[in-house]
Structure 1
């Protein structure tokens, strides 16, 4: 017997002659639904920024952060880095001012009285300034020239002033932001092979230190409230802020919140410091990447990794990020790169890894989460790679969209019921299971899941025996793997 069509617009008792047709789409052969991914930069701002603290702003150009967060601000640098690495994804920022009473980090560059001549290249937070030293310049003049060059770059993360010490003639550096972030501004004399200290010149560096009082990431969380952001770049990496963000992301990933997101943070530290920091959280929704003595500040690592990840994971959430470059990020000196043994241990401690090119460019090696163990403390790799939570987010999003579009106003009946046989607006466990089968084939063709046949065999759908308006389902999936390792034996005939 034919199934009676269901009409939403045409009344069945209409008596006026004519032919009327409703037009509506069908989704039985729909491909993957578009995923509206959005990235968020938690952007520290200076008092010179025009942004309203705690308000969300869409950023479309690398220069947007200068006016919003202030020239030389961490926020402006993060926005520039993210937009340079990713010019197409939908990126937003929330401006957060320094914490009240925060202390700014300080450092210095000191000139001696030796009269070596030549070009002097200085890198501060990865930004390069260059002055030319002549034999006729006194130490105070050299210091004054460097102060002028540093302050001429309005994007510098520090302000420079000339000291009054007659013996060393110091260039005093003060971070523009208060807080611990300033301690991670690395000062280097030359990076490239030809950037050597002029012969005879006396220049010494005192590292940035003394910064204290980072803002609370809860301020940013309160600002975004119930809005969904798929990738969030965090500039502050104190234990408390990492813990708060990890918990927020956990809650956002729950079934009823449906605000899935992933956090990214950069770290500067030795092997020992990074392995310790990686164990602060145990989160499937947080990624940390760390380097020892990289000229590029950690917040630029975070913003760039977030921007690269959101672009490529939106294209294909199941494909590993290995070999992708972090544009603009500078690798540490070869002596400061981690060995393969150290990288393996870092990956077991929640820290993502990278490789360095001969030109000091940075390429992703393995991007993981900080998840290492179950709630009972048992070692577990279920959520190790970032692709797992991101792919599951996409499947959940796609399935919810499928249900909403395929069964928007359907009734619910048992398999084999007379209602199922005669009405197109009746859903049954069998019908929904068929829809799930069709979507799993889409996910399989996209390379998101594997073993589709077993996935379908293990799925169950039923009407809740205690609630006639509710369907219950168990829908196991097997996320596809990535070719990360190849192990073989190469034998030869002796």
Structure 2
């Protein structure tokens, strides 16, 4: 029997009772989900780079990143999907050499009748009244005023000679992902009037993500989403995420970012990295901006994988993400290929909403360049993180100051379940294996793992031959599968 507070050399008659928890029946430890949004701020935003803040109200994002900023939209997109997960923000401002993306909306001809014209700019509805008597210059002036009249939109607009020039408020390549379109499905353009769209382009010089990654190097965040999908930042992000997962760090973090991309561009983006802790969201010409899509994906993963890390996210609606037009949606064959290149895929419903088809990581091959799907699905790192976190917390709770001896030493009677009394100050490799076995049964009961008995038997625990203060272990689990593909031969008798 060991005591932490009662001295063994106390002889004066007394009754001492120390109170401490017994962890032998402790359930699985709650996962401390904590999300960081690294947002792109405007000069008017009050959150200085190098700071992190917890955000609890939507208007805080507007103040910290600036009204009409990408950062404010990221937070809004996250909270539209997930209102409960603790959310923190940090900010980067335009790079010194950043160039802002621009696009144009050009009017030609004349409306045959007065009507309300509808547009979508970065996914936001913009309306204007076009009179039959309006010249193209008048129409352009009206549209520019309507765009500028929305302070939360991520662009500015000017008009000249029938042409509206739309400019991203934030500088950088990121602005090229902004969608411009006539919402003809909601309101057809009247005969005689033509509206031509030139997509946003020319943006260059994204901020450098290094400052954000250095800032939180030793901080616990389980998810990190940012909007910068240029090659440099994506590769930098992937390598940083890998370092967080190593045994000596144990700061597991899953990353999210996205890009407005054609099939070929999405493939190129996925092939940039081979990271089990990074998920990429790509749609071709969705009205919704890529940063809002990535934030929504992160929000879904943070909520649902916290509840059950082993359960797939298929069929969950990505709230706020609009479907591309049918001709711009990836085909089934393209989706299958995108998954092989590490790009998550989505389906689109008749009401224009988007649902997850399969959320994957960018991991595709081993270090020896052999094709491998071991870490393909986001549930794999999520489940392994949960098991590692829980086992570490449980082990440290049970044996915080334990002495280590070889197996076969009788130091305390076994209980009926094969373990010894919790809280003993002595452990052996065999006792640790028994503790691992009991924990695996809990994981199996949660259906995080399967074939627990076989994997427990295959797990090994031994005392290090040269360091008598160290136990070496090989702990094996088999993560539960998910119903992804159903293949059947449906036959009829003749």
* Superposed pair shares fold, TM > 0.5: yes
Query: Quick one: which of 251, 257, 269 aligns to 2:243?
Result: 251
Query: Quick one: which of 31, 50, 62 aligns to 1:35?
Result: 31
Match of 2:191 in 1: 199
| More displaced 10-residue stretch of structure 1: 264-273 or 250-259 | 264-273
Counting only pairs closer than 5 Å after superposition, residues 110-129 of structure 1 correspond to structure 2 as 110-116=106-112, 117-129=114-126
Counting only pairs closer than 5 Å after superposition, residues 82-161 of structure 1 correspond to structure 2 as 82-116=78-112, 117-161=114-158
TM-score (norm 1): 0.96
2-structure distance, mates of 1:329, 1:150: 21
Does the residue aligned with 1:327 lie in a helix, a strand or coil? strand
1:492 deviates by 1.4
Q: Does 1:324 align with 2:316?
A: yes
Q: Is the 8 A contact 2:118 2:186 kept in 1?
A: no
Deviations 1:238-265 (A, max 9, x none): 1111110000000110000111111111
Match of 1:479 in 2: 479
Deviations 1:316-373 (A, max 9, x none): 1000000111111101001111111111111111111000011110000000011111
Q: Does 1:335 align with 2:327?
A: yes
Counting only pairs closer than 5 Å after superposition, residues 233-248 of structure 1 correspond to structure 2 as 233-248=225-240
Query: Quick one: which of 236, 258, 262 aligns to 1:270?
Result: 262
Q: Does 1:312 align with 2:304?
A: yes
Q: Is the 8 A contact 1:413 1:419 kept in 2?
A: no
2-structure distance, mates of 1:72, 1:223: 25
2-structure distance, mates of 1:199, 1:64: 45
1:115 deviates by 3.1
Counting only pairs closer than 5 Å after superposition, residues 25-424 of structure 1 correspond to structure 2 as 25-116=21-112, 117-163=114-160, 165=161, 169-190=162-183, 193-419=185-411, 424=424
1:25 deviates by 1.0
TM-score (norm 2): 0.96
Does the residue aligned with 1:43 lie in a helix, a strand or coil? strand
2-structure distance, mates of 1:374, 1:415: 37
Counting only pairs closer than 5 Å after superposition, residues 430-441 of structure 1 correspond to structure 2 as 430-441=430-441
Deviations 1:401-421 (A, max 9, x none): 011100001111112224456
| More displaced 10-residue stretch of structure 1: 419-428 or 145-154 | 419-428
Q: 1:312 to 1:87 in 2, by over 3 A?
A: same
Does the residue aligned with 2:104 lie in a helix, a strand or coil? strand
Does the residue aligned with 2:174 lie in a helix, a strand or coil? helix
| More displaced 10-residue stretch of structure 1: 234-243 or 131-140 | 131-140
Q: Is the 8 A contact 1:109 1:203 kept in 2?
A: yes
1-structure distance, mates of 2:370, 2:465: 36
Q: Is the 8 A contact 1:64 1:79 kept in 2?
A: no
Segments of structure 2 that go 5 or more residues without pairing to the other structure are 414-419
| More displaced 10-residue stretch of structure 1: 5-14 or 445-454 | 5-14
Does the residue aligned with 1:390 lie in a helix, a strand or coil? helix
